[in-house]
Amino acid sequence: MKGQFMKRFKPSAVPFVLTILLVPFLLGSRGLEQVKPEHYHTAVASKLAYSLSRYHYNHQGLTDSLSAIIFDQYITETLDPNKYYFYASDITAFAKYRLQFDNFLRDGRLGPVYYMFNVFKERLQERIVFAKTQLKAEFDFTVDENYQYDREDESWPVNRAELDEIWRRKVKYDAINLRLAGKDDTGIREMLTKRYENLERAVVELDSEEVFELFMNAFTEAFDPHTNYFSPINSENFRIRMSLSLEGIGARLIREGEYTNVVSVVTGGPADKSALLHANDKIIGVGQGIDGEIVDVIGWKINDVVQKIRGKKGTVVRLQIIAADEEASGESTIISLVRDEVKLEDSAAKADTLQLQYDGRQYVLGVIDIPTFYADFAAHSRGEKNYKSTTRDVKILIDELREKNVDGIIIDLRNNGGGSLTEAISLTGLFIKSGPVVQVRSSGGDIDVERDPDGTTYYDGPLAVMVNGFSASASEIFSAAIQDYERGVIIGNQTFGKGTVQNLIPLKRFVRRVDEEKLGQLKLTIAKFYRITGASTQHKGVIPDILFPEKYGIHNFGEASQPTALPWDQIASTKFNTQGNIKNYIPKLSLRHKVRAAKNPEFKYLQDDISEAVKTRENKYVSLQESKRRDERKKSEMKKLTRTNDRRKLKGLAPLNDGEKIPKEDDPRDFLLEESARIVADMIIFSKDGLSGYFK
């Protein structure tokens, strides 16, 4: 995901103490307090630069070309990606440093970094002053004009008049969204005043350590998106998160621009169980209890938003969200979640059966949902025989499904972001006799082949694996191995494409003569995964045998969307024997799927949503005319109602009227899972037609 100001809100700025400091001529006249590097940042920056260039998987040296990438990461990805604050003249003034960051980092000179941040801070404060003056005038929502909400590819504003016009429309956009949400003029002015003041405060209150972290992450992510710097306080927060159970709503949040965005929901947590909060949703307001006031949190620091959302187990928190596919319209909804503790068993694999009437016969298919690849290593090390692990749990579930005489099994890895590599390997071993599962290439070039050695196949029946764009890392290793062995059919969307391995390294290993309390940690990419065929899972992920339509697109949020992602490459194949010839039957399976999909209204709805999302992304503009926006909203509501009534008609239910609340039981079924079941049924039919061996 592309970051906007304070990407991931990880303070990273490489303070540099230059003998010639250029900040005062820009900032001194207004008496703004300048953020300056701490003395120990010099040692941390230089040692971090040395460690990265030596130990990162790519062994990327500190060069002018890398310096240019760091410059772009800091200015156009971290501070001002939407070009809301800097002038073209600022960028021209900064350009003298574009090819010098390699030298600055080597020497631990961080002055220019803080100079650029201080200019950014002044520019932001200028914009807040302008925005607040706009709130004093009356808005005319009858004018037919647009707001460009995505300016990433635009040129930097050349003068104040151009930037004022951008912000005039931005303030009007914020105002019309609140007006459509039912706020009156007084309420709009009060809320936006608070919002802009919060945004200003979030920047003004950044201290030296936070700015250092902002820049250092711009630096580390120039190597690859998964190499990160954690400041001392964030290192401690990370340690606490890893050692304690989670309590709250179970969502990982980041700061993007003025918004708090959902990166992912924690499997088994309240957000996951509710199915109301999803990745890429924006949280714009938080309320306590079932009737507490919704507090606008746009512009807040990420830590402050998290504190608002956290609370005691059993209490209610209400979130005002803009769904990922509603970004342009700004339409928001309010959801209620009950805070709870996220436990290991909530993330455990679960099984169910799916009854399918197809092609004149009844099928019973087992569905094993694996949210993550987990193992209770502590319990295992204590010698406990019944410790929790993905593979152990799935074996038990397979036994239960056998007792129910299932005709085939579907492994559902959708939204599974990975986890234990060991578990991915051992789980693969349940479905193959023996052999290699994944190759791991270290930064030194050594290649380890991780194998399933047991010589037995626990389940040898018809098998399908469902994946999507959020299936990553260990999920990709498992699905790639199943595909390469031709052990089962892979169904769904191209996976995320994370084929790299990271280690967390305390900086105290590299930095001497600095108080340990002032040293953070480095998350460093040290290795890369490769399939047994030699192809990397990095960047491209796993491409399913049978593809479903993808609403968001891997190039919009997956590894491929990251400009510094490590490339796809290939090494030599390792020796392995396929355990079927399923590839010979993929064309026939795919053809049957396409015929069914063409007749299934749910696939048509999905294609319509995809077309609408593509159109929105390509347009990048939204109307500021109230009548148009209300018409657009009405059309969207009618579209949802029409779909609901179409579904109700198929069930023999009476249609709903306009404005009537849609019952929860009218939520659409998981038609992609049902279609996957039909694909497995086709596999069984083919085997009975004498095509056995393609799944064994």
Q: How many CB atoms lie within 10 A of CB 382?
A: 9
Residue among 80, 272, 484, 545 flagged as catalytic: 484
Nearest 10 degrees: CA dihedral of 589, 590, 591, 594?
A: 130
Task: Render pLDDT for 561-583 as a digit per residue (tens, 0 to 9).
Answer: 899 999 999 999 999 999 888 99
Pairing of strands 350-358, 361-369: antiparallel
Q: Are 417 and 470 in contact (CB under 8 A)?
A: yes
Residue 35 and residue 21: Cα distance in Å, rounded? 13
User: Which residues fall within 8 angstroms of residue 566, CB to CB, at 6 or more apart?
Assistant: 57, 58, 224, 499, 500, 525, 528, 538, 539
Contact 448, 439 (CB under 8 A): yes
Bridge pairing between strands 546-547 and 521-530: unpaired
Residue with tokens 């498992």: 478
Pick from 408, 533, 527: nearest CA to 466? 408
Going from the C-alpha of 678 to that of each of 160, 397, 681, 689, the distances in angstroms are 61, 21, 5, 16
- The DSSP call for residue 648 is H
pLDDT of residue 675: 97
pLDDT over 50 (residue 3): no
Q: Identify the burial level of 197 via C-beta atoms within 10 angstroms of its C-beta, where 0-12 means exposed, 13-18 middle and 19 or more buried.
A: middle
Which segments of 365-432 does DSSP mark as H helices, in order? 377-381, 390-403, 421-429
Bridge-based pairing of strands 546-547 and 489-492 is parallel
Instruction: Tell me the pLDDT band of 32, cut-offs 50, 70 and 90.
Output: low
- The percentage of the chain sitting over the pLDDT mark of 90, rounded to a whole number, equals 60
User: What would the DSSP string read from start to end of 443-491?
Assistant: TTS-EEEEEE-S---S--S-EEEEE-TT--THHHHHHHHHHHTT-SEEE
CB atoms within 10 A of CB 61: 11
Of the candidates 36, 121, 308, 498, the residue annotated as catalytic is: 498
In the numeric block, which tokens belong to residue 659? 């404005």
Q: Which residue type does 172 have?
A: K
Instruction: Place 604 in a pLDDT band, splitting at 50, 70 and 90.
Output: very high
Active-site residue, 473 included: yes
pLDDT given at position 351: 96
- pLDDT at residue 329, as a whole number: 59
pLDDT of residue 16: 28
pTM: 0.85
685: left (phi over 0), alpha (psi -120 to 50) or beta: alpha
d(CA 396, CA 403): 11
Place of tokens 């436990």: 343
pLDDT in tens, 420-474: 899 999 999 999 999 999 999 999 999 999 999 888 999 999 999 999 998 999 9
Q: Specify the higher pLDDT residue, 84 or 419.
A: 84
Mean pLDDT of 215-227: 95
Strand partners, 442: 527
Residue 214 has which token pair?
């902002």
Residue-wise pLDDT tens digits, 502-559: 988 888 877 776 777 778 889 999 999 999 999 999 999 999 999 999 876 666 778 9
Can you tell me which residue has the tokens 């690849």?
Answer: 373
**CB environment 353-366: b (16+ within 10 A), e (fewer):** ebebebeeeebebb
pLDDT digits (tens, 9 = 90+) for 70-107: 999 999 999 999 999 999 999 999 999 999 999 999 99
Mean predicted confidence (pLDDT) in 96-124:
96
* CA distances in angstroms from 107 to 48, 93, 115, listed in the order given: 11, 22, 17
Active-site residue among 46, 389, 473, 479? 473
Mean pLDDT over each residue of the chain, to the nearest integer: 87
Q: Of 495, 547, 587, 486, give the one whose Cα is nearest residue 676.
A: 547
Q: Are 258 and 199 in contact (CB under 8 A)?
A: yes
Q: Which residue has the higher pLDDT, 661 or 369?
A: 369
Nearest residue to 168 via CA among 205, 143, 197: 143
> Contact, 199 vs 167, CB < 8 A?
no
Q: Which residues of 517-531 are buried (b: 16+ CB within 10 A; e: fewer)?
A: ebbbbbebbbbbbbb
Q: Which residue has the higher pLDDT, 644 or 243?
A: 644
Give the span between the Cα atoms of 400 and 402, in whole angstroms: 5
Per-residue model confidence (pLDDT) at position 15 = 28
Of the candidates 532, 508, 534, the one whose C-alpha atom is nearest the C-alpha of residue 520 is: 508
With a cut of 50, say whether residue 390 has pLDDT above it. Answer: yes
pLDDT higher than threshold 70 for residue 690: no
User: Is 65 exposed, middle or buried (CB count within 10 Å of its CB: 0-12, 13-18, 19+)?
Assistant: exposed
Q: Where are the domains of the chain?
A: 7-223, 246-342, 344-502+526-582, 597-691
* Separation of alpha carbons 693 and 687, rounded Å: 8
pLDDT of amino acid 328 = 56
What backbone phi and psi angles, to 5 degrees, belong to 637? -65, -40
Among candidates 197, 199, 174, 198, which has minimal Cα distance to 187? 174
Phi, psi of 197 (to 5 degrees): -70, -35
pLDDT band of residue 62 (cuts 50, 70, 90) is: very high
Query: Given pLDDT bands bounded at 50, 70 and 90, which one contains residue 598?
Result: very high
Comparing 34-43, 125-134, 317-326, the range with the smallest average pLDDT is 317-326
Q: What is the pLDDT of residue 236?
A: 60
User: What local confidence, expressed as pLDDT, does residue 344 receive?
Assistant: 53
Dihedral of alpha carbons 135, 139, 141, 145, sign: negative
Taking residues 22-47, report their average pLDDT.
Answer: 69
Q: 234: closest CA among 207, 210, 258?
A: 210
CATH architecture of the domain covering 246-342: Roll (2.30)
Beta strand 489-492 with 621-623: parallel, antiparallel or unpaired?
Answer: unpaired
Query: What b-and-e string marks burial along 602-611, b requiring 16 or more CB atoms within 10 Å of the CB?
Result: bbebbeeeee
Residue 511's pLDDT is 76
Q: Are strands 295-296 and 316-322 parallel, antiparallel or unpaired?
A: unpaired
Residue with tokens 């707001």: 147
d(CA 290, CA 43): 50
CATH superfamily to which 344-502+526-582 belongs = 2-enoyl-CoA Hydratase; Chain A, domain 1 (3.90.226.10)
User: Average of pLDDT values for 645-654?
Assistant: 89
51 catalytic residue (yes or no) = no
